A and B are shown apart, each in its own frame.
Chain A
Amino acid sequence: MAVQNHLLNSTPRPDSREFVDFTLNGQPTGGFLGEPLVDVLNRIGTRVPQVCYQPQLGAIQTCDTCMVEIDGKLARSCSAAVGAGMVVSTHTDHVDVAQREAFDRILENHLLYCTVCDNNNGNCTIHNTTGDLDVKHQVREYKHKPYRQDLSNPFYRYDPDQCILCGRCVEACQNVQVNETLTIDWTAADPRVLWDGGEQIAGSSCVSCGHCISVCPCNALMEKSMIGHTGYFTDLNPQTLDDMIKIVKDVEPSTGYGPILALSETEADMRELKVKRTKTVCTYCGVGCSFDVWTRDRHILKIEPGPGPANGISTCVKGKFAWDFINSEDRLTHPLIREGDTFRQATWDEALTLIATKFSQIKAAHGPDALGFIASSKCTNEESFLMQKLARAVIGTNNIDNCSRYCQTPASMGLQRTVGIGADSGTIADIEQAKLIICVGTNTSESHPVLATRIKRSHKLHGQRLIVADLRKHEMAERADLFLRPRPSTDPVWLNAVAKYSLDNGMAKLDFVDQWVNKFDDYKASLEPFTLDFAERTTGIPAAHIVQIAEEIHRAGTTCILWAMGVTQHCGGSDTSTAISNLLLLTGNYMRPGTGAYPLRGHNNVQGASDFGSMPDIFSGYQKVDDEQVRAKFEADWGVALPVKKGLDNREMIDAIHQGELKSLYIKGEDTITSDSNANDVDQAFRTLQFMVVQDINFSETCKYADVVLPASPSLEKDGTFVNTERRIQRLYKALDPLGESKPDWEIIQLIANRLITNQRNKWNYKHPSDVMDEVARLTPSMAGVTYARLEGYKSLLWPVAADGADTPLLYTDKFHFPDGKAQFHPVEWKEPSEETTAIYDLHLNNGRMLEHFEQGSMTRRSPGIQRMTPSTFLEISPELATQRGLADGRYVQLKSPYGQIKVQVLVTDRVEGKQMYMPMNTVEEPINLLTGSHTDRATHTPAFKELSVQMIVLPESGNRPLTAENFRNGHRTPQMGVEVEKKWQRDDYHVPGSRTQDKLVQIKSTKV
């Protein structure tokens, strides 16, 4: 194949491609050498039909409708590469015959009933191609397939009767999502799309990512939420619809397709009055997928990805399908005030008066530092900024933090120590083009699914090498070229051993170090203990593997290291993150495309929550609160004196409550009782608070402790911006009105602030979140050029953003973020974990995420489809442990730690080994944090969630296997290289359209209606 398998997130540098001349329809034109001819044709407006071609998928070559003549011979323009001097014709008779023959074959597989089809929204490829070719009639009569519709998946349906076998879905699944579930058996008498080689979706390895539906050029694959909701007639009784279709088909020989298409296009235009398409950014993980959300009144029709800079056509099950929580029946719609042993509905006025009164009283009696504020990683940047402004400028305290404290702060610390900026050094484009990816403590395919697709694709198609270090054999580990299973909490050891081995064997980039990195001697000395022998004894990783890692880094030339909670949620999380960055510096893996450090942010806006100042020691843009000049700037702008000393972080706030120093908490969008470690300890703290305000979209577990509960609006009900893990700032637009009396968080914070501010001149007057962003830009050098205009639509900016709008896709291209422009090694030593297993607590309990659920399930457990797939949590135990303890799937066990106990069902799986166990954190019933202790990272106080030893008591009860039969983890992938169109070409009934005389279809004329 001439062109294929391009990178998805990376844009070729303009100067890297040669521009060549060629002739098109007798006229001179040009394109980039090697680019798909069809891209040139589309770019210059000489369109040819193209049913299976989709730029992000590349050439599939199944539909044959894009035929052109190149140097006198028929060729598919999707797979033809631009070459100098070629002579291309798109309008000859021969080309016309070939295109129409190809399309007639497609219409044999697809019944056109556009006016009553839910996919008739102006973007249906089959409909539009019928119009573009001005097809009057089809020669081949439509043929039913011998298969039923598959409705077994909770989110989408497959209708084989409408499937044109273009293979876009297969290509997307095999080579973009790289879940490798879909195939087409071209040797079958009646080929169809298959799931794990079979005919049923449920129970296959399909992860419901939605790629196949998004790329389907017709209605064969369709979201169930669209069916019966989109058109004016599509909700009619199915028998009536069938009758109407029959009428049209019977009349059509007299009218041709022209008038019928005109009717359907009119109906499609009418739909635009009711169907709203709004751009938004996903509210789930830190990848920052952006897409259009289609709504009809409050019904969410579908999520339509396309031009998102982080994701393109990619989505995951949550971003594509898990939006039911928006219209959940139990959304908070009115303020609630605690009264006795219940809550009662209150007016906003009443709630705000109570809050203002209590805040004022506590501040007057105990000082401003008696109040604490916890911001949300799910709310917008503007809301984060206003929350810290409320705390600092109105109350007078720096006691503000956000949930990055629970996960990402150690990573930021490690990077701030070594390279100066605690954020991803590049973008997903760098990750996909790197020659080597090392994943440490990240279950990327489940926690950052779309980002993982780029790694999987590069690994499968571009020879990217993959090394994974994790306790658990998850999907990335299965795909890895080298999979390491270190003992818990020993990552710094093998990382430093790799560094030492590289240094001792001439694989360190010493010229880079000399030019760009300080404190080399200190670092070198600190590596002395980390011999191969020591590393092997401590970590359990064979010395040969440590050597291999060093050699792979050396050989690759460009390496990215990705990490997540498996690294950060340890007492040495900051040190491990530092060790990672040290290794990257030693091997010269900064300052170039395809290199760098990538702590993967877990939530949609955990990056932004910190970037915009919701931290106890910084203002927006990481400007220090104890820096006089910085503070003076904010004081001048806000018109108030600001607190000087660093405030309390989340964990310190809990301690301060126990000590009687913190009397009040205002928590926005965070379920602290289930997110923080040692839930029993947090429970005791909350019970002693004098006054607590919780602001959320649902009545969370934390709301149970509140004195006032405020109803907030989720992302679809407001404007704002998020920052993803790439440092990419993106806009979200309001698609729906707030439900009931709920309000966007920024409006609520402003209302509270204005109740507390007595000086009329200082009252806040933000009319729109863009006003807040303008203030941020004014006060924050790294955001100086951020404006809503520059973020219009799908545009984005990667901070730092200069005043002229120039952003920074790759950090450190000129220098590092230290005064002398150099990075610095930061030596770290290794310490034993806080909790080793003991005679009593003899099992290690790892914990983390699941693909289909998010956090404690507040949003995803309100999705019936996801609940059906994964209704309950479970405990993964190894087959050897199951045998030893006499356990089988579904058996209940009690897990005990020194801090608490829970009851859970077991799932026996080889994803874990030996005495390692794993439990997802995605539940509030029997939550994992009842077991975790109060150990924290030494530098940042991030709870050491991963350092947990437990005792397991087998209970007599047993239940069903906690993983339902239709869960994708039961499936078996069927990997192949794309759609394998060569097998279609080998079929006896196939010939290249236009290559035979009878391909000229006399009934189809080229005149327009």
Chain B
Amino acid sequence: MANPIAFQVPAIDPRRELERRLAAAPQEHAEALLVAFDLLEEAHRQGVLDLLYGAVGSKNEIFAKIAEYVKEPVCTQAIRNGITVARLLGSIDPEVLLNVVESLTPPVDAVQQLNPRRKTPSLFTLVRRMNSEDSRRGLDVVTSLLAGLGRSMR
């Protein structure tokens, strides 16, 4: 005889489900698990694991803090300026920049090694130097840059 019996099915315990899957995991993923254990051990010894744990646990707070500061106008402007400067640098031919740097190195070194007691060059020496092809070439670059700057400020 089978009289009906009301019965409340116990609620699924998600931990038991995970335990069941965990119990099966070592067999299915043995090699990967071994490597993972090595990685975990090393990360723990280096303190990286603790750092990661903190970061993951505070994901929301970390993102919130970063966003709070980065959204400030000074930060976004800095990012934008950084992008602009990066673009500028990217637009310069590296060979040209290298030549400029290499050509500036001796005079810079010379200035750095200047003995205050060294004799000051004459006006004629300076004018002759400015009239040289190299100097005029340099002035061309400088004045072009100035003109471009002036145009952008219109």
**Is A332 within 8 A of B9, CB to CB?**
yes
A707 within 8 A of B: yes
The CA-CA distance from A338 to B70 in the complex, in Å, is 64
The CA-CA distance from A341 to B1 in the complex, in Å, is 12
The CA-CA distance from A597 to B5 in the complex, in Å, is 44
Residue in contact with B7 in the complex, picked from A244, A251, A253, A703, CB distance below 8 Å: A703
Binary interface encoding of chain B residues 11-29 relative to chain A, with 1 for a CB under 8 A from any of its CBs, else 0: 1100011001100000000
Interface size on A, residues (CB 8 A): 42
Binary interface encoding of chain A residues 335-377 relative to chain B, with 1 for a CB under 8 A from any of its CBs, else 0: 0101001110100000000000000000000000000000000
Which has the most chain B C-beta neighbours within 10 Å: A250, A330, A342? A250
The CA-CA distance from A705 to B64 in the complex, in Å, is 56
| A686-B4 contact, Cβ under 8 Å, with A251-B83, A253-B80 | yes
B91 within 8 A of A: no
**Is A687 within 8 A of B3, CB to CB?**
yes
| A338-B5 contact, Cβ under 8 Å, with A333-B12, A740-B17 | yes
Minimal Cβ-Cβ distance residue in B for A691: B2
A437 within 8 A of B: no
The CA-CA distance from A336 to B59 in the complex, in Å, is 43
**Is A330 within 8 A of B9, CB to CB?**
yes
The CA-CA distance from A247 to B72 in the complex, in Å, is 8
Residue in contact with A739 in the complex, picked from B1, B8, B17, B64, CB distance below 8 Å: B17
Minimal Cβ-Cβ distance residue in A for B73: A250
Within 8 A of B (CB), among A712-741: 737, 739-740
Residues on the A chain within 8 Å of B17, using CB: 739-740
**Is B67 within 8 A of A342, CB to CB?**
no
Residues on the B chain within 8 Å of A332, using CB: 9
**Is A342 within 8 A of B5, CB to CB?**
yes
Residue in contact with A336 in the complex, picked from B2, B7, B21, CB distance below 8 Å: B7
The CA-CA distance from A692 to B67 in the complex, in Å, is 62
**Is B9 within 8 A of A705, CB to CB?**
no
**Is B5 within 8 A of A240, CB to CB?**
no
Minimal Cβ-Cβ distance residue in B for A328: B12
Residue in contact with A342 in the complex, picked from B4, B7, B59, B63, CB distance below 8 Å: B7
**Is A237 within 8 A of B2, CB to CB?**
no
Residues on the A chain within 8 Å of B84, using CB: 254
A795 within 8 A of B: no
Residues on the A chain within 8 Å of B76, using CB: 247, 250-251
Minimal Cβ-Cβ distance residue in A for B82: A254
The smallest beta-carbon distance between B60 and chain A, in angstroms, is: 6
Residue in contact with A247 in the complex, picked from B6, B59, B67, CB distance below 8 Å: B67
| A707-B71 contact, Cβ under 8 Å, with A240-B63, A739-B17 | no
The smallest beta-carbon distance between B16 and chain A, in angstroms, is: 8
Residues on the A chain within 8 Å of B11, using CB: 329-330
Residue in contact with A254 in the complex, picked from B64, B71, B73, B83, CB distance below 8 Å: B83
Residues on the A chain within 8 Å of B73, using CB: 250
Residues on the A chain within 8 Å of B139, using CB: none
Minimal Cβ-Cβ distance residue in B for A339: B5
A688 within 8 A of B: yes
**Is B7 within 8 A of A243, CB to CB?**
no
**Is A689 within 8 A of B9, CB to CB?**
no
**Is B64 within 8 A of A237, CB to CB?**
yes
Minimal Cβ-Cβ distance residue in A for B68: A243
The CA-CA distance from A688 to B4 in the complex, in Å, is 11
Minimal Cβ-Cβ distance residue in B for A741: B20
Residues on the A chain within 8 Å of B20, using CB: 740
Which has the most chain B C-beta neighbours within 10 Å: A254, A338, A686, A737? A254
Residues on the B chain within 8 Å of A255, using CB: 83
Residues on the A chain within 8 Å of B3, using CB: 687, 705
**Is A254 within 8 A of B5, CB to CB?**
no
Minimal Cβ-Cβ distance residue in A for B1: A687
A683 within 8 A of B: yes
The smallest beta-carbon distance between B137 and chain A, in angstroms, is: 33
Residues on the A chain within 8 Å of B5, using CB: 338, 341-343, 704
The CA-CA distance from A250 to B75 in the complex, in Å, is 10
Which has the most chain A C-beta neighbours within 10 Å: B5, B9, B64, B73? B9
Residues on the B chain within 8 Å of A253, using CB: 80
B55 within 8 A of A: no
**Is B63 within 8 A of A236, CB to CB?**
yes
Residue in contact with B63 in the complex, picked from A244, A246, A707, A740, CB distance below 8 Å: A244
| A705-B60 contact, Cβ under 8 Å, with A251-B80, A699-B9 | no
Residues on the A chain within 8 Å of B83, using CB: 251, 254-255
**Is B71 within 8 A of A243, CB to CB?**
yes
The CA-CA distance from A698 to B8 in the complex, in Å, is 10
A239 within 8 A of B: yes
B79 within 8 A of A: yes
**Is A240 within 8 A of B12, CB to CB?**
no
**Is B4 within 8 A of A240, CB to CB?**
no
| A692-B2 contact, Cβ under 8 Å, with A251-B76, A253-B80 | yes
A706 within 8 A of B: yes
**Is B7 within 8 A of A254, CB to CB?**
no
Minimal Cβ-Cβ distance residue in A for B86: A254
| A705-B2 contact, Cβ under 8 Å, with A236-B60, A243-B68, A254-B83 | yes
Residues on the A chain within 8 Å of B71, using CB: 243, 246-247, 250
Binary interface encoding of chain A residues 411-433 relative to chain B, with 1 for a CB under 8 A from any of its CBs, else 0: 00000000000000000000000
Residues on the B chain within 8 Å of A243, using CB: 64, 67-68, 70-71
**Is B4 within 8 A of A704, CB to CB?**
yes
A229 within 8 A of B: no
Within 8 A of B (CB), among A730-775: 737, 739-740
A331 within 8 A of B: yes
| A329-B12 contact, Cβ under 8 Å, with A236-B60, A254-B80, A254-B84 | yes
Residue in contact with A704 in the complex, picked from B6, B21, B59, CB distance below 8 Å: B6
**Is B1 within 8 A of A688, CB to CB?**
yes
Minimal Cβ-Cβ distance residue in A for B20: A740
Within 8 A of B (CB), among A487-515: none
Minimal Cβ-Cβ distance residue in B for A329: B11
Residues on the B chain within 8 Å of A688, using CB: 1-2
Residues on the B chain within 8 Å of A706, using CB: 2
The CA-CA distance from A798 to B148 in the complex, in Å, is 74
Residues on the B chain within 8 Å of A707, using CB: 2
Residue in contact with B60 in the complex, picked from A237, A247, A689, CB distance below 8 Å: A237
The CA-CA distance from A688 to B2 in the complex, in Å, is 6
Residues on the B chain within 8 Å of A687, using CB: 1-4
The CA-CA distance from A233 to B70 in the complex, in Å, is 17
Within 8 A of B (CB), among A312-338: 329-333, 336, 338
The CA-CA distance from A703 to B59 in the complex, in Å, is 46
**Is B2 within 8 A of A739, CB to CB?**
no
**Is B2 within 8 A of A240, CB to CB?**
no
The smallest beta-carbon distance between A930 and chain B, in angstroms, is: 14
Residues on the B chain within 8 Å of A331, using CB: 9, 12
**Is A705 within 8 A of B4, CB to CB?**
yes
Minimal Cβ-Cβ distance residue in A for B4: A704
The CA-CA distance from A254 to B79 in the complex, in Å, is 9
Binary interface encoding of chain A residues 226-261 relative to chain B, with 1 for a CB under 8 A from any of its CBs, else 0: 000000010011011001101100110111000000
**Is B4 within 8 A of A683, CB to CB?**
yes
The smallest beta-carbon distance between B9 and chain A, in angstroms, is: 4
The smallest beta-carbon distance between B53 and chain A, in angstroms, is: 18
* Pairs across A and B, CB under 8 Å, 26 listed: A233-B63, A243-B67, A243-B68, A247-B67, A250-B80, A251-B76, A251-B79, A254-B83, A254-B84, A330-B9, A332-B9, A333-B9, A338-B2, A342-B5, A342-B7, A688-B1, A688-B2, A689-B2, A692-B2, A704-B4, A704-B6, A705-B2, A705-B4, A740-B12, A740-B16, A740-B20
List 7 tightest A-B contacts by C-beta distance, closest first: A243-B67, A704-B4, A250-B76, A254-B83, A254-B80, A329-B11, A240-B64
Q: Give me the interface of A with B, judged by CB distance under 8 Å.
A: 233, 236-237, 239-240, 243-244, 246-247, 250-251, 253-255, 329-333, 336, 338, 341-343, 345, 683, 686-689, 692, 698-699, 701, 703-707, 737, 739-740
Known: A244-B67, A341-B5. 11 other contacts (CB 8 A): A237-B64, A243-B70, A243-B71, A250-B73, A251-B79, A330-B9, A686-B4, A688-B1, A704-B7, A740-B12, A740-B17
